[in-house]
Structure formats: structure tokens, C-alpha cells
Amino acid sequence: MGTVCEVTVVDGPATLLDVAQARVTDLERRWSRFRADSEISRLNARAGAPTALSAETYLLVDRAITGWHWTSGLYDPTVLRALEAAGYDRSFERIVAAPAIAARPAPGCGGIELDPALRAVTVPDGVGFDPGGVGKGLAADLVVALLLAEGAAGACVNLGGDGRVGGSPPDGGWRIGVGSPYDDGAVLSVLTLQCEGIATSSRVVRRWTAGGGAVHHLLDPRTGLPVEGDVDAVTVMAREAWMAEVLSKAVFVAGVDACEGLLARSGASALVVTERDQVRVVERSRHLARH
């Protein structure tokens, strides 16, 4: 998943942090598109043929396709070929300048076949599946569930901005600071979470050069090009972290005026940053305590 993992455990056995590390390492091994031996790489290499997957990887694909349907294609895990064409064909720290980007719309998930009985997935020829951020969100969900099952009273897992909290919080509750996308160290807001997921996406970071200009990793699946909308960053709170991740990407594509309906239909809350000192709060309940 190419990011930093932070784990907080409330009570429970002293071995729980080791349990969390082993679980994240295993999911990285299965899901990374930058590992030739991962299940996701094998799935993409076998386009046109059914590929048997582990329970975790089948769940990942199923959740990603659910997110595609749920957002009417605003979130789309088939943007892989467009990402590669833009230069994001290796882990982020190894990206070099890329040539000009040619428009390459995502084909969508309509042709992906799922066989739950065999836990097999078939992606059509020419389609590449990118686990992207939904993999980080789902990993956070799975690790929190494992820690609680192994005896933790409460747990918080953060994978590069995608997080999940569950169980009993520490003193003061599960309070999560959201940083400004413009100023390192500046806190935009403090959120109070209760057994739910959170995901933050920004087009201000993870940028590189293509065709002589700056580009970012948040692509509009309808065009295959970096989103050029009115959202600079968004933090979404939803029932689970994978859901929050799906919605954070969809908000970028939908734009600030359309995002409220999308979030309301999903029962989610969000902080939507449109420019410095301009934040729209989409609130479903009691999450947001401005700092």
C-alpha cells in the first residue's frame, strides 16, 4: 500500500501491535499493484480468464465494484491504465517525469465477472484493476476487526490518511486531527469519531510532472485525466473506511455543488476544502469540532 501505518490499541494483550503489523504486511503482499507476485498483479496479468483469489482479495474487488455502482461510476477502480499512462506505473517515490498525458477514459466495472462460489474474478481484456485507496480503507477495517477479535477493548488504524476506529476509545474519545492541505503541521479541524471510518484525499500532494506540467493522482474516470474541479482536499466520515475512501474520490469528480447529495445518500459527513480558508462542512450528525 506504499504508506505509513499507525495503530493505537486500548487495553488487550501486549502482542496486538505485532498482530496488526503482520496483518498489514500480508494484505500489502496480496494487494500491491507494484509487486509482480501479488494477487492483484496476477489478476491483471490474466485478463480475460477467471482468477481464483483469497477471501481478502475477493472482498477487495467486490467492495470496489460496489463503490463503482454506488457512486454511478464517479469512483472507478478501472483507472489503472490511465494512471500508468500518466506516469504512476511505479510506487510514488520512484515516479519520474512522464510525457504528455493522452485522454484514456476508464472502461468501468460492467464487464468484470465475479464468481462467489469459486471466489474467482474475471477482468475483461484491456481492463486493469487498481485497488488504490479503497485497499487502504478496507485494510484499516480488517485490521481493526482483527484487533477487537484478539482482545483489544478499542483500536484505531490509520493507513496513509484512511483510518478506522472501533470499540472503546481512550480517554477523551477518538479525536482525529485533519491537517491543512496547504500548510504542514497546521490543523484544519478536529473530528470526533465513533466506530466508523475516515478517509482524506488531496490533489495538492502526490504531484509529479507530465508533459512539462504538474499532474496529480486523482483522475476523472470519464476522461482518464487529472480532475480539474473546485475541490482541493476532502475528508469523509462513513460507516467503514473503505466507504469513506470511495466517497472521497467521488467527491473530487462530482465537484463541490454536487457532493452534498452524494454524501447525504450515503449517510456520510465531510470537510470539503475548495481553497485556502474556504471549507464546506457537510454534516450528518455530531462529528465536527472546528479547531
We report the CATH number of the domain holding residue 165 as: 3.10.520.10
Residue 176 forms beta bridges with which residues?
191
Q: Which own/partner pairs from 144-150 qualify as long-range (CB within 8 Å, at least 24 positions apart)?
A: 146/19, 146/20, 146/23, 147/7, 147/9, 147/12, 147/16, 147/19, 147/20, 150/12, 150/13, 150/16, 150/19
pLDDT score recorded for residue 143: 98
CA 161 to CA 181: how far, in whole Å? Answer: 12
Residue identified by cell 477467471 is 50
Quote the pLDDT of residue 211.
Answer: 57
Q: What is the pTM of this model?
A: 0.88
Query: How far is Cα 212 from Cα 128, in angstroms, rounded to an integer?
Result: 26
Q: What is the pLDDT of residue 100?
A: 57
Total domain count, the chain: 1
Low-confidence ranges of the chain (pLDDT < 70): 1-2, 85-103, 204-217, 284-291
35-59 pLDDT per residue, tens: 999 999 999 999 999 999 999 999 9
Domain that holds residue 87: 5-289
How do residues 71-115 score in pLDDT, each as one tens digit?
999 999 999 887 776 665 545 455 555 555 666 889 999 999 999
